Structure 1
Amino acid sequence: MNTEAEYKDAKRSKYALTIFHLNKVLLITLFFSFLFGTTLYGHEGMWMLGNLNKDTRKAMKQLGLKVPAEKLYNPGKPSLKDAVVSFGGFCSGVVVSEDGLVFTNHHCGFGAIQQHSSVEHDYLKDGFVARSKGEELSNPELYVRFLLSTEDVTKRVLGAVTPAMSESDRRVATDSVMLAIQGEVHAKDSSLVGVVDPYYGGNEFWLSVYRDFNDVRLVFSPPSSVGKFGWDTDNWVWPRHTGDFSVFRIYADKNNHPADYSPDNVPYHPDYVAPISLNGYKEGSFCMTLGYPGSTERYLSSFGVEEMMHGMNQAMIDVRGVKQAIWKRAMDKNEGIRIKYAAKYDESSNYWKNSIGTNQAIVKLKVLEKKRKMENSLMQWIQKTPQERDSLLHLFSSLELNYKDRKETNRAMAYFGESFMNGPELLQLALEILNFDFEAEEKYVVAKIKGVMERYANLDLDIDKDVFVAMLKEYRAKVDTTYLPEMYHTISKDYAGNERAYVDSLYAHSEITSPRGLKRFFERDTTFNIMDDPAISLGIDLIVKYFEMNQSITVPSEKITRDERLFNAAIRRMYADRDYYPDANSTMRLSFGTVCGYSPADAVDYDYYTTSKGVLEKANAHQGDSDFAVGTDVLSLLASKDFGRYADEKGDMKVCFISNNDITGGNSGSAMFNDKGELLGLAFDGNWEAMSSDIIFEPQLQRCVGVDVRYILFMIDKYAKATNLMKEFVLPSK
């Protein structure tokens, strides 16, 4: 499961242009349980560690947790949260050695692995192992983030808000206070990062204080036939047999403080190391995950869900499907292209399939019907409550009207973003150059330049031209002519409607199709006016067109933001005695539940774990299918059953397991702990039957898929024979 932070947030390690923003309303499943009579399961929710109340703690203990809450989160003393990191801002990870080794998913490290790969050294295909610290590979754009503490700053932030403010004025006021609070953290200690995030639709605000480490090096990666076993075919599907893990190391200066990359840096010594369990789990065993879930719209109104289905999700399905088909054909024909395009294909296809599953699940699980039933009950409560009726009587009619008013434009913006902002890489380069900040701190400028150069290293112009032509056709086919940018008029007028001729001319006349033009730009060549470059000019035209579309729906969008926030607050007032959990927003969260199987359909029962036997069976059943191709060395090792201390009580090698923990994008790489706070594995996926989980939790169906830590250690030990790494792990006797 990829979290795709480049799509949801602008992370400092990735360039992202916000395509469009869906405002969320954050409710609780207790509300649904009350309305529909369903059983409340303790595993639902993504809970803030620094705000666990008595009811939540009690529910965790009832499920089997033996660790006191202060051992999970304690700002003043080492605790379990100190072993969990945000990995690159788009995944999670867990520290597993005194010398700063971090376990995360293979797909989370995929970009770094790809950057170090070549036809001669194909670490994607063959895997990678550093036999010494000197062989570990640096990754300039990668960082890990430790949470130090959280603090409720709601009163201070909302103290700047007055009832008469418009939504835009409210946003300016709250943003200014949030920035001030963040600045105070850095001013007090320059090694700290303060981030204030909105919760509950902007009704609460919390400060998270972090410490970032920027020197993160690749240590180990299994072959992709292990780390990506099943590829697109098995993605989001249970049963899984994927060894989805990779290993990195955090480096610091000689005083154990954060430092930019330097050969003089030394392994970081963490405050807390996650203990590892070799005893595994049974059905019903307590399981909790700690990580950084990215974003959910779990309780978005039914109007917002409809917009998401037909806008963002459908645009992603349609446009990425076309783009990926072009990439895949080229990748299958050429090994060099396969390596160049592996990471971006993986990144793109992950949420393409997610969107397909989400839209299908919304229909199959009758999500809209459930939400409308909930909204009808809320409306009845508003009508019966005088103080609510006076201010909220027209809430739902306002939501319906304003979502309708922006429907077509919002949909067009979704297709526009996917087709152009996230489409041809030439346009992405143009946008990156237009957003380049020469005034930033030198190290960020250098890192940005390296990032752009990396784009060139992984770009094939012929493929990109094919993508551009396809995007032009796809966008035209999906939107009204009102939303066509000026280049379509140019194609019609100057190129007789021939998209290929237009694209060929554009690439032929642009200087930024190669690093040469970029070099002239970076060196401030006075003979080169980059604004005259046709690709840059097109980028500006597209930004202007997108801005115009966005401006045309400013009024309904601001009203939607207001109404969703008011809706959220009304629900919390309606059930003021209930225990609320906030929606995911890339901050550290705890989810908890039990290891268990499920039955997605009549006569279909899924067990709670898979074994290496399934790897052999799938490889045999899918011979000739690259998604299930496994190296003979791996097959031989698994067939030998030489599992040693990593075998379960039956002598089998468990590969993956599932729990009913809550999960979403960003949870990839999250640590999965047992009742004693010992590491069981790494979360890496959800399941196909519950793909609408970002919108609504389905307790009978939703499962969190994890790779067993014993399989991870088995591959490091028995397959790679990385004795240098094995010496770092403190492993209990079984």
Structure 2
Amino acid sequence: MKKKNLITAALTGTLITVGVLQSGYKPWEEGMFPLSEIHKLDLKKAGLKINQNEIYNPNGTSLVDALVNVGGCTGSFISNEGLIITNHHCAFSAVQQASTPEHDYLTNGFVAKTHEQEIEAKGLTCRITDSYEDVSDRVLGAVAQVNDPSSRLKLINDAMKNIEVEAEKNDPGIQAEVSEMFIGKSYVLFRYKTIQDVRLVYVPNRQIGEYGGETDNWVWPRHTGDFSFMRAYVAPDGSPAKYAKNNIPYQPKKFLKVNPNGTNEEDFVFILGYPGRTYRHRPAQFIEYQQQFVLPYVSELYSFQNTIMENAGKKDKATEIKLATRIKRNANVMKNYRGKLQGLKGIDLVGKKKTEDAGLAKFINENLEVKARYGSLMTDIDNLYKLINGDAKRDLWLTQIYNSTSLLGVSKNIHIFKTALENQPASQQEAFFTQNLPRLKQFLSGNYASYDIDADQKIFKKMLTDATGFSSAERVNAANIPANGAEGIEKSVEDFVNKAFSTSKLKDSAYVFNTLLASRKSLAAYNDELMVFERAVANQIEVLKPEKDRREGVLNKLMGDYVNVKEKFLKKDFIPDANSTLRLTYGYVRGYWPADASYMRPYTTIKGILEKGTTGNPEFDYPAQIRALWEAKDFGSFAKKDLNDVPVAFLYNMDTTGGNSGSPIMNARGELIGVNFDRAYGATINDYAWNESYSRSIGVDIRYVLWVAAKIDKADFLLKEIGVNI
């Protein structure tokens, strides 16, 4: 990786010298470091004050043992009774499912003062990384003599699956997963332990946990108390078990010490977590595909969907709660994608990548040995993306259709079940039906959990109208609806959708569960226009699959070669892109200059909450206790002396992305001083590029977490459990 000097920041006319510049230390330019790479770092020179092995020790207990992957986010154990801290938005779906109009935990928050009062966090599990092993030779050895792209990809996937099965057979107590670290190049087997019983302990009022709403999302300054507490439970014998009243709190091998003193500007900090996906090592064509197709299509679609669902939620509180998680997820992606679009254009990343790739092509052509192996690489990449771009609109539509329309999801799950049932020998069909029906009902319950018929119908109409506008080369077969006379295709779409929804019995979940699924006979006899439409969509996906697999196989090989030759060209090793496996990133508490003469300080305070609350925007409403406590200067021991206030959120220059939500922010001694939850707007392009000048992540300060818990929600019992004195 390239190294760069730490800057000396000019803050309000005063030069603050960075204290960690000992021995001329220069930090990495970027990096989400896998466990296997941590030993290559010199974190002591960066500012770490504990032994580096205390972060990750493959032969003993270390800080990584306190980390969990919870619901696609990161969390950390902070007590020996399985207490977990993560983000408010990471618990959002579980809180939504636990809420009713009578017990609206989503709005009012929730505090369980005893273990018995804790609520099941439906849909959430905890996954703990147990160990890892490089299996690249085993995976790639299976395709050493294979050139056909589709066959090659299938053999790679089969090899990965076989390794997983073998690992789980050798140790039934783990879940095995082979992760592709570099596409087509390197593979690592991760062994995980999964805790199935997770419960909600403490979730703050939504006016705290989601303060600023979408107005402030991906924005700094930020004043969001984005935190929540959960607890992991296991069976009395310590084994993983599903939710049961007699389960006991899990005792982790390691839990983090909470430091209530927080941080100061330019303090060394680091994060351990499970960042989702980054695409730093892709060519210009990939970035162009994202910029031209993926980002605008998805952000515009989600904007439309949210308008429809927000209007539907105005009918009653139950509908509002039911649609809340989907609206929140859509809004988060939508703003993120718009930020990425702005960022990509702002730094002209496509142009920069094209320049880099031109230099790479020149390097290939000027070196006979390299040219012999990689001579057609850049042309092959370009030709592949011409094919991908030619189908982009249809492929994106097919990717989004089931998520867009809940009843099509219901249709899909019923069809899959019916097909599997019909493929059984006649003598075994009844047993298959009985055995697998509970699982089908579980899938359907997920479809209906965020379903509203009015929203579903309007969104389906939008999707179908879009599909009818595609060129013949990107035709969606199911959308081949003849024009309704002079009134045209728009009227025909409306008539089709209205008829399909009015006649379908799938819109009634009670009918589906109690009548349709009452027997094999009733299931086999049922059909309607929505199910016919869904079958046409599924059939086209199946027809397109061989070509899609071929392209994936070609891409797998090309990207492996692209990284190999680029490392030769630049004479350096790359850090693998994030892929939801455990990573470390480190840096410093630091502000930044997003624009000329616009310095952003790295801390916000309660005062800022009160200031935003005067704007009239309901997303800046806050509990009245906050003003009363602030005016009384009742900060307890959680004020930052130089601010004379409680710090709410803070900035740092670490390398994070989606999946790092909930990651513990630790100080130089490995103590918890905050919880990561977001990035500044300019850093939404971290998935594609990172730069110290604009890449800033945002965390909720532990002092605000503790202040809210103690002063607002009277959760003193939690502070006692984590060893913090008020």
TM over 0.5: yes
**Partner Cα distance (2:467, 2:696) in 1:** 36
Cα drift, residue 551 of structure 1 = 4.5
Mark the CA change 1:530 to 1:566 in structure 2 (over 3 Å): closer, same or farther. Answer: farther
**Partner Cα distance (1:442, 1:217) in 2:** 30
**Partner Cα distance (2:297, 2:99) in 1:** 32
Cα drift, residue 555 of structure 1 = 4.9
Does 1:627 pair with 2:619? yes
**Partner Cα distance (1:386, 1:640) in 2:** 76
Structure 2 residue aligned with 1:78 = 61
TM-score by length of 1: 0.89
Describe how 1:96-135 pairs up with structure 2 within 5 A.
96-135=78-117
Does 1:357 pair with 2:321? no
Mark the CA change 1:502 to 1:640 in structure 2 (over 3 Å): closer, same or farther. Answer: farther
Structure 1 residue aligned with 2:458 = 466
8 A contact 1:510–1:535 mirrored in 2: yes
Structure 2 residue aligned with 1:34 = none
Residue type of the alignment partner of 1:148:
D
Does 1:591 pair with 2:585? yes
**Partner Cα distance (1:29, 1:546) in 2:** 43
8 A contact 1:129–1:220 mirrored in 2: yes
Structure 2 residue aligned with 1:66 = 49
Does 1:723 pair with 2:716? yes
8 A contact 1:43–1:592 mirrored in 2: no
Does 1:186 pair with 2:168? yes
Residue type of the alignment partner of 1:63:
A
Mark the CA change 1:288 to 1:246 in structure 2 (over 3 Å): closer, same or farther. Answer: same
Mark the CA change 1:454 to 1:196 in structure 2 (over 3 Å): closer, same or farther. Answer: closer
Mark the CA change 1:443 to 1:178 in structure 2 (over 3 Å): closer, same or farther. Answer: farther
Cα drift, residue 670 of structure 1 = 0.7
Of the three residues 427, 430, 433, the one matched with 2:408 is: 427
8 A contact 1:608–1:658 mirrored in 2: yes
Cα drift, residue 630 of structure 1 = 1.7
Mark the CA change 1:281 to 1:440 in structure 2 (over 3 Å): closer, same or farther. Answer: farther
**Partner Cα distance (1:554, 1:153) in 2:** 23
8 A contact 2:567–2:573 mirrored in 1: no
**Partner Cα distance (1:344, 1:62) in 2:** 44
8 A contact 1:406–1:557 mirrored in 2: no
Of the structure 1 ranges 109-118 and 649-658, higher mean CA displacement relative to structure 2 is found in 649-658
Identity %: 30
Cα drift, residue 656 of structure 1 = 0.4
Mark the CA change 1:447 to 1:699 in structure 2 (over 3 Å): closer, same or farther. Answer: farther
Cα drift, residue 49 of structure 1 = 1.7
Cα drift, residue 371 of structure 1 = 1.1
- What RMSD in Å do the two structures reach over aligned CA positions? 2.5
Tell me the SS of whatever aligns to 2:88: coil
8 A contact 1:41–1:699 mirrored in 2: no
Does 1:692 pair with 2:675? no
Does 1:485 pair with 2:476? yes
Tell me the SS of whatever aligns to 1:93: strand
Residue type of the alignment partner of 1:166:
D
Of the three residues 77, 97, 110, the one matched with 1:95 is: 77
Describe how 1:562-711 pairs up with structure 2 within 5 A.
562-576=557-571, 578-621=572-615, 623=616, 625-650=617-642, 651-711=644-704
- Tell me the alpha carbon deviations over residues 45-66 of structure 1, each in whole angstroms, 9 at most, x when there is no partner: 1101233243x2x1x2222012
**Partner Cα distance (1:443, 1:712) in 2:** 46
Cα drift, residue 224 of structure 1 = 1.1
Describe how 1:270-309 pairs up with structure 2 within 5 A.
270-309=252-291
Residue type of the alignment partner of 2:172:
S
8 A contact 1:236–1:688 mirrored in 2: yes
Structure 1 residue aligned with 2:501 = 507
**Partner Cα distance (2:437, 2:180) in 1:** 29
8 A contact 1:50–1:149 mirrored in 2: no
8 A contact 1:243–1:712 mirrored in 2: yes
**Partner Cα distance (2:39, 2:573) in 1:** 8
**Partner Cα distance (2:301, 2:221) in 1:** 29
Residue type of the alignment partner of 1:70:
N
Mark the CA change 1:704 to 1:311 in structure 2 (over 3 Å): closer, same or farther. Answer: same
**Partner Cα distance (1:672, 1:206) in 2:** 26
Structure 1 residue aligned with 2:310 = 328
Residue type of the alignment partner of 1:626:
P
8 A contact 2:256–2:672 mirrored in 1: yes
Of the structure 1 ranges 40-49 and 232-241, higher mean CA displacement relative to structure 2 is found in 40-49
Tell me the SS of whatever aligns to 1:165: coil
Does 1:559 pair with 2:554? yes
Tell me the SS of whatever aligns to 2:107: helix
**Partner Cα distance (1:706, 1:675) in 2:** 16
Cα drift, residue 485 of structure 1 = 2.9
**Partner Cα distance (2:83, 2:525) in 1:** 44
Cα drift, residue 356 of structure 1 = 0.9
**Partner Cα distance (2:494, 2:317) in 1:** 26
**Partner Cα distance (2:711, 2:631) in 1:** 13
Tell me the SS of whatever aligns to 2:481: helix
- Tell me the alpha carbon deviations over residues 634-690 of structure 1, each in whole angstroms, 9 at most, x when there is no partner: 443344331101111243110001111001111101111111100011111111112
**Partner Cα distance (2:559, 2:446) in 1:** 41
**Partner Cα distance (1:122, 1:475) in 2:** 39
Mark the CA change 1:49 to 1:530 in structure 2 (over 3 Å): closer, same or farther. Answer: farther
TM-score by length of 2: 0.90
**Partner Cα distance (2:116, 2:703) in 1:** 27
Flag structure 2 segments of 5+ consecutive residues without an equivalent: 5-24, 422-430
Cα drift, residue 489 of structure 1 = 3.0
Structure 2 residue aligned with 1:541 = 536
8 A contact 1:362–1:368 mirrored in 2: yes
- Tell me the alpha carbon deviations over residues 584-617 of structure 1, each in whole angstroms, 9 at most, x when there is no partner: 0010000111110000110100001111111111
Tell me the SS of whatever aligns to 2:85: strand
Tell me the SS of whatever aligns to 2:699: strand
**Partner Cα distance (2:283, 2:437) in 1:** 41
**Partner Cα distance (1:440, 1:676) in 2:** 56
- Tell me the alpha carbon deviations over residues 135-187 of structure 1, each in whole angstroms, 9 at most, x when there is no partner: 11113421001111111111222221224432222222222222222112211
Of the structure 1 ranges 630-639 and 302-311, higher mean CA displacement relative to structure 2 is found in 630-639
Does 1:219 pair with 2:201? yes
Mark the CA change 1:149 to 1:41 in structure 2 (over 3 Å): closer, same or farther. Answer: same
Tell me the SS of whatever aligns to 2:594: strand
Mark the CA change 1:203 to 1:441 in structure 2 (over 3 Å): closer, same or farther. Answer: farther
Mark the CA change 1:556 to 1:580 in structure 2 (over 3 Å): closer, same or farther. Answer: closer
Residue type of the alignment partner of 1:702:
S
**Partner Cα distance (1:49, 1:566) in 2:** 24
Residue type of the alignment partner of 1:691:
T
Structure 2 residue aligned with 1:24 = none
Describe how 1:271-420 pairs up with structure 2 within 5 A.
271-332=253-314, 334-418=316-400, 420=401
Of the structure 1 ranges 519-528 and 245-254, higher mean CA displacement relative to structure 2 is found in 519-528
- Tell me the alpha carbon deviations over residues 490-524 of structure 1, each in whole angstroms, 9 at most, x when there is no partner: 36369964223221211222222122124445433
Residue type of the alignment partner of 1:596:
R
Of the structure 1 ranges 502-511 and 109-118, higher mean CA displacement relative to structure 2 is found in 502-511
Residue type of the alignment partner of 1:256:
G
8 A contact 1:275–1:678 mirrored in 2: yes
Does 1:449 pair with 2:441? yes
Structure 2 residue aligned with 1:47 = 33
Tell me the SS of whatever aligns to 2:113: coil
Residue type of the alignment partner of 2:235:
D
